[in-house]
Amino acid sequence: MPVTPPEQSFATAQVQAGFVSGVAQNTAVPPIYQSNAFEFSTLSEARDLFALRRDGNIYSRAANPTVLVFEERVAVLEGGIAAAGVASGQAAVALSLLALAKSGEHIVAARQLYGGTVDLLQDTFADWGIAVTFVDQDDLQAWADAVRPETRAFFAESVTNPIAQILDLRAVADIAHAAGVPVVIDNTVATPYLQRPKDFGADISVHSATKFIGGHGTSLGGVIVDLGTFDFSAEPARWPQLTEPYRRVAGGSLVERFGEKASPYIALVKTKYVHDLGPSLSAFNAFQLLQGLETLDLRMSRHSANAQLVAEFLEAHPAVARVHHPGLPSSDWHGLVETYLPRGAASVFSFDLHSTGDDAADFERVEQFIGRLHISRLVANIGDARSLVAHPASMTHSHMTPTQLAESGITSTTVRLSVGLEDPSDILRDFGAALDVV
């Protein structure tokens, strides 16, 4: 412990006494490096760090040691080469695509996307001159037909929310690669435990770490992973942001500076988009997300097993019109489970109560059902340890047009579930009692 020199005045001591920067404390777990900025040992070191000539900590918007542990851990779990932790899943989706497509360019995206992603692609990207074509993700011809010379990415979710459709990723990736563009997969619902998109041809994966990665409903976060499979130097003219000299790096382009192995793509995400737009992941949230990652396999197995029981129970109940769960033989996507989700068919899915034919009466019916639940809670979130329910038509998807709702398979009686980690018999009893009322 440093001894505070006796001559330090009160005002100096209150900000400096008792601390020496850079001293290792041999903690057994990654600590929270709750520091905005980091001290340089010399000005030469600072100059090299700023020129990206060497790695090190400068300022937590750019990089933070707790966040780096989180990034490295997710990259390993996804089989990727590098990752960027960001403030939310929304930031992960936005930045992953901004690093690929600029004004005048184009993205092909699945129609079956998280509502926030639809808003981003349809409104904000349109404002910025980035065109998006939405296709039914099961229609392989539609993906191929949507490609234009200026297409720069394909985007889809490995397992969709709320209808739990499974993407035929291998087939979609083959079309993207034939067109020379990378595939970005939102792997939030599956997590790398249930599916590694890299195994099926994805090039970049993104997550709302807010959901299953954190797993406890306490911390927003997102992550972008370069899976290391896409060769941006194959057609350099298409990717000037990576292959042409980059003002922020001493000496040449990001590809020259970082090589394919160290991910020029993630370097671009961090040094340009996180740096300029500012959606950094906080050290505290990275710490929370690391706690979640440590039990990801255990939780995902339990979530999936519980969800399978709930799906089977609901399908057999007379008050239920339809259950959208790929683990059931009645699902159109059941045939893809063995290939894409062999460890469990995920725990976010939906079911429809019988409709009265009248939207207002349907709303009453759903309200009555949800009002009777005690274990499952009405919350606009997924991937929590607790079981959650939501009514997409009046909540997450309320601003969609009737056509968009119909295309997404959402009706006025669709109820979304995110089945939690409680004892499955309690979850089933709770649903049974509430359904008996409607």
Ligand X SMILES: *Cc1c(COP(=O)(O)O)cnc(C)c1O
For 193, 367, 382, the CA distances from 300, given in Å and listed in that order, are 7, 29, 13
Q: Does 188 bind ligand X (CB under 6 A)?
A: yes
Which is nearest to 37 in space by CA: 61, 13, 54?
61
Q: Does 396 bind ligand X (CB under 6 A)?
A: no
Instruction: With contacts defined by CB under 6 A, name the span among 58-66, 89-97, 238-246, 288-296 that binds ligand X.
Output: 89-97
Question: Is-cis flag, bond preceding 236, omega within 30?
Answer: no
Q: Does 186 bind ligand X (CB under 6 A)?
A: yes
Q: Which is nearer to ligand X, 93 or 227 (CB)?
A: 93
Q: What's the residue count for the chain?
A: 438
On the CB side of 113, CA atoms within 13 Å amount to 25
By CB under 6 A, name the one of 33, 70, 114, 134 that touches ligand X: 114
Question: Is-cis flag, bond preceding 162, omega within 30?
Answer: yes
Q: Tell me the residue nearest to ligand X as measured from the CB.
A: 89
Q: Which is nearer to ligand X, 210 or 288 (CB)?
A: 210
Contact code string over 138-157 relative to ligand X, x by CB under 6 A:
-------------------x
Residue 356 tokens read as: 């009265």
Q: Does 417 bind ligand X (CB under 6 A)?
A: no
Instruction: With contacts defined by CB under 6 A, name the span among 2-10, 59-67, 114-122, 303-311 that binds ligand X.
Output: 114-122
Q: Does 120 bind ligand X (CB under 6 A)?
A: no
Give bridge partners of residue 206 from the DSSP assignment: 186, 224
Which is nearest to 158 in space by CA: 167, 150, 149, 147?
167
Q: Which is nearer to ligand X, 210 or 280 (CB)?
A: 210
By CB under 6 A, name the one of 65, 116, 180, 279 that touches ligand X: 116
Contact code string over 69-88 relative to ligand X, x by CB under 6 A:
-------------------x
Q: Does 195 bind ligand X (CB under 6 A)?
A: no
Residue 385 to residue 123: CA distance in whole angstroms: 33
Site for ligand X in 46-65 (CB under 6 A): none
CB of 126 to ligand X, least distance (A): 19
Residue 294 to residue 292: CA distance in whole angstroms: 5
Q: Which is nearer to ligand X, 211 or 257 (CB)?
A: 211
Q: Does 161 bind ligand X (CB under 6 A)?
A: yes
| Contact assessment for residue 380 and residue 395, using Cβ atoms and an 8 Å cutoff | yes
Site for ligand X in 207-266 (CB under 6 A): 208, 210-211, 220, 222
Q: Which is nearer to ligand X, 220 or 375 (CB)?
A: 220
In whole angstroms, what separates CA 70 from the centre of its chain? 14
Q: Which is nearer to ligand X, 158 or 253 (CB)?
A: 158
Residue 71 to residue 202: CA distance in whole angstroms: 18
Name, in order, each residue with C-beta under 8 angstroms of 259's C-beta and a sequence gap of 6 or more: none
CB of 290 to ligand X, least distance (A): 16
Q: Which is nearer to ligand X, 119 or 297 (CB)?
A: 119
Residue 238 to residue 255: CA distance in whole angstroms: 13
Residue burial 373-385, b: 16+ Cβ < 10 Å; e: rest: bebbbeeeebbbb
Residue 283 to residue 25: CA distance in whole angstroms: 17
Residues that bind ligand X (CB under 6 A): 88-90, 93, 114, 116-117, 157, 161, 186, 188-189, 208, 210-211, 220, 222, 382
